[in-house]
Structure formats: structure tokens, C-alpha cells
């Protein structure tokens, strides 16, 4: 029996299987609003057969967007536009849908990837980013504005308000983005956090604001919503954030009511040197799972069904997440179920495509 396709209790919800569609930025939200692209994009992924779908990194304020076309949830109008998309998707898909709440910090105000990914000036439609310290991501970029205590309070409130909107949208839960060199990760790493107040210096101080934000989000969500966090387990730079720090962070998060840790890595510094290979981040998920005693999601070049099966069956992680692989093949869970002799959900309109040699691949509607 496939472990990958067994149910898993994630906080207050039980997922039908252990495959997660990871959040993936689409850079297709004019003024932060979800629209027709998201109906098509999320619609494909919602019938993938995965156990959970996480909507892309969603900015909690306008200045927190990576690009001017990032998705946002900082106003009632943004909530309304996303609700229209969700209404269309939910009409034909029962998959639990969560959302990743984020702030880009010093990595904000850049062009879309297919338009060069360069930092945008205010004259080009960009803005001066906020950050823990006035340290740009790359030399030659504009110096970000150092957040004062009033700014920290504003951002804490923005994360909490966005979480309340996620709850109003009846989303299954929220994932706080604390990875890939964005704002909360910038507070964690000594490479980007040069503060001398209570939010900088020691590990305890550098974790203080991210934990404050997480606590505010936990308070804003009812207990029937999943709450997790994505972190970068290491900066892949000497003297930066590392796996030992991540374990300590995960223990603090668990004490605050975190349901899972989504374990990625890198993104904070252009000096990173990442040994990319299949499953290269899985050992980080395994260590956090063991030492912090919290469910983990493994991600990163997980492409083959048996590879994913082995990860969960051997206890290296509780779940696996796919991102680019799911874009390339939005039916990856169907193919994985076929390869592993398991069952998966499919919409009634597609039941006729079930392979003749896999007559029990698709779970009966309503089961």
C-alpha cells in the first residue's frame, strides 16, 4: 500500500493524501487582483488529485509585492476578486485550498521574470522597498528603507488582517512565508539583519519579529484553519542562517501553534552556492521533523513517484510538495497513483480517461 496516498492529519484537517501543490508566483495580478488567469491556473491544479493546493505568495501590503503584478490580499477589494476566482474553482473541485501570505522586503519592486527581473525605480512603476536593515540584496540596487518600530507594528497588523481575509474566504489555512530571502527571512539571517535593537544581533533577537508575526496570524485564525510556515533551512552562505538555526526556529513555532514546516532553502544572498540535485533539501526536512518534533513538507527536485513515496515511507518528511513539476504536469498525482497502485480523485467529466489497465485508479465520486 502506498504511504504517499494515505490520509494525513494536518492540524485540524485530514488531507486525502500527502501531495501538496506548492505556492508558485504567477506575476499576473494587475494592482494585486486575481483574475481570469487564476481561474485557469488554479482550476488546473485543483483537479490534480493532490491533497492540498496552496495559492501563490500573496502580499499583505502593496509594498510587499515582489513585482507590481503580484497577488495581494491587503484590502476588501482584493478579497472580493479572489473570492470570484475561488467560486469558479470550487464549483468543480473539492480540494482544500490554502494561501501563502508574504512580504518581499528588500527583494520587492522588480520586473516580472520574463521581463528581466531587474529592480524597478519609482519612475518605472516601482518603489523603495522596506527591510530590517538598509542593506540591498545586490550591489547597485537601491538601498532599502530600514523599518522602524511603527513600521513593524504596521506589518504585524497587515499579516493579521490578511489572515482574517483568508478565513473569510473559507480557505483551509494559511502558510506564512519566511523563506527565499523575503522579509521574514531577512530578519532571521545575520547577512541581511544588521539591527542593533531587540530585533537584531543574537539568534533570539533575529527570530523575534518573525515569531511576533506568526503569533499575530495564529491569533487571527480560528482553530479550524491550518497554519504552517515556509522557511529556508540554510542560506548556503558561510556565516548565514543555517539548519541549526532552523531547528531552533521550528521549536519556537511549534510552541506557538504551528501545524507544519515547509522546508526549502536559499534565496537570501546572490553569493549562495547550492548543490542542486534530486531531493537535495530533503535532509533538512528530516532533521527539522526529528529534532523539532513537527510535521514537515519536503520540496525541491522531487519529480518521480517512487522518490516521493520513499521520502514519506521512510519518515524523512510527512508530505511532499511539487512546484515547477506540477506546472509541467498538472496531473502528476494521477500518474503517481497509477505507478504506486493507489487511488486519486478526478472530476466526473474526466472519468472516461482512466486507463484500461488501471480500472480502480480514480476514486468513485463522493468517496
Q: Which residues are catalytic?
A: 182
Sign of CA dihedral 87, 89, 90, 96: negative
Compute the distance between CA of residue 303 and CA of residue 324 in angstroms, rounded to an integer. Answer: 9
- SS3 sequence of the chain: CCCCCCCEEECCEEECCCEEECCCCCCCCHHHCCCHHHHHHHHHHHCCCCCEEEEEEEECCHHHCCCCCCCECCCHHHHHHHHHHHHHHHCCCCCCEEEEEECCHHHCCECCHHHCCCECCHHHCCCCCEECCCCCCCCCCCCCEECCHHHHHHHHHHHHHHHHHHHHCCCCEEEEEECCCCHHHHHHCCCCCCCCCCCCCCHHHHHHHHHHHHHHHHHHCCCCCEEEEEEECCCCCCCCCCHHHHHHHHHHHHHCCCCEEEEECCCCCCCCCCCCCCCCCHHHHHHHHHHHCCCEEEECCCCCHHHHHHHHHCCCCCEEEECHHHHHCCCHHHHHHHHHCCCECCCHHHHHHCCCCCCCCECCCCC
- Give residues with Cβ within 8 angstroms of 342, minimum separation 6: 1, 2, 4, 5, 17, 336
Q: Are 249 and 188 in contact (CB under 8 A)?
A: yes
Amino acid at each position: 500500500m502506498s504511504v504517499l496516498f494515505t490520509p494525513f492529519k494536518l492540524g485540524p484537517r485530514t488531507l486525502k493524501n500527502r501531495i501538496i501543490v506548492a505556492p508558485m508566483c504567477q506575476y499576473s495580478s494587475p494592482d494585486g487582483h486575481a483574475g481570469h488567469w487564476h481561474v485557469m491556473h488554479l482550476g488546473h491544479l485543483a483537479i490534480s488529485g493532490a491533497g492540498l493546493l496552496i495559492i501563490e505568495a500573496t502580499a499583505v501590503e502593496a509594498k510587499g509585492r515582489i513585482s507590481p503584478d503580484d497577488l495581494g490580499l491587503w484590502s476588501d477589494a482584493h478579497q472580493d476578486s479572489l473570492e470570484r476566482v475561488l467560486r469558479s474553482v470550487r464549483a468543480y473541485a473539492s480540494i482544500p485550498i490554502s494561501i501563502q501570505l508574504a512580504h518581499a522586503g528588500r527583494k520587492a519592486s522588480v520586473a516580472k521574470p520574463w521581463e528581466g527581473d531587474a529592480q524597478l525605480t519609482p519612475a518605472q512603476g516601482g518603489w523603495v522597498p522596506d527591510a530590517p536593515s538598509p542593506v540591498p540584496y545586490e550591489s547597485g540596487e537601491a538601498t532599502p528603507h530600514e523599518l522602524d518600530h511603527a513600521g513593524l507594528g504596521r506589518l504585524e497588523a497587515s499579516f493579521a488582517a490578511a489572515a482574517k481575509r483568508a478565513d473569510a474566504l473559507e480557505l483551509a489555512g494559511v502558510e506564512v512565508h519566511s523563506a527565499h530571502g523575503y522579509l521574514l527571512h531577512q530578519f532571521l539571517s545575520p547577512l541581511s539583519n544588521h539591527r542593533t535593537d531587540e530585533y537584531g544581533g543574537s539568534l533570539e533577537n533575529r527570530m523575534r519579529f518573525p515569531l511576533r508575526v506568526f503569533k499575530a496570524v495564529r491569533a487571527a485564525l480560528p482553530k479550524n484553519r491550518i497554519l504552517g510556515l515556509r522557511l529556508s533551512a540554510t542560506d548556503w552562505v558561510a556565516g548565514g542562517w543555517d539548519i541549526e538555526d532552523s531547528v531552533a526556529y521550528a521549536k519556537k513555532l511549534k510552541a506557538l501553534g504551528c501545524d507544519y514546516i515547509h522546508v526549502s532553502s536559499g534565496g537570501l544572498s546572490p553569493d549562495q552556492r547550492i548543490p542542486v540535485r534530486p531531493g537535495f533539501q530533503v535532509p533538512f526536512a528530516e532533521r527539522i521533523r526529528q529534532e523539532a518534533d513537527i510535521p514537515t513538507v519536503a520540496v525541491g527536485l522531487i519529480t518521480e513517484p517512487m522518490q516521493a513515496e520513499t521520502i514519506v515511507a521512510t519518515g524523512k518528511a510527512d508530505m511532499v510538495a511539487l512546484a515547477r513539476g506540477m506546472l509541467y504536469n498538472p496531473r502528476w498525482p494521477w500518474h503517481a497513483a497509477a505507478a504506486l497502485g493507489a487511488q486519486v480523485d478526478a472530476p466526473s467529466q474526466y472519468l472516461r480517461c482512466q486507463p484500461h489497465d488501471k480500472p480502480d485508479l480514480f476514486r468513485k465520486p463522493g468517496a
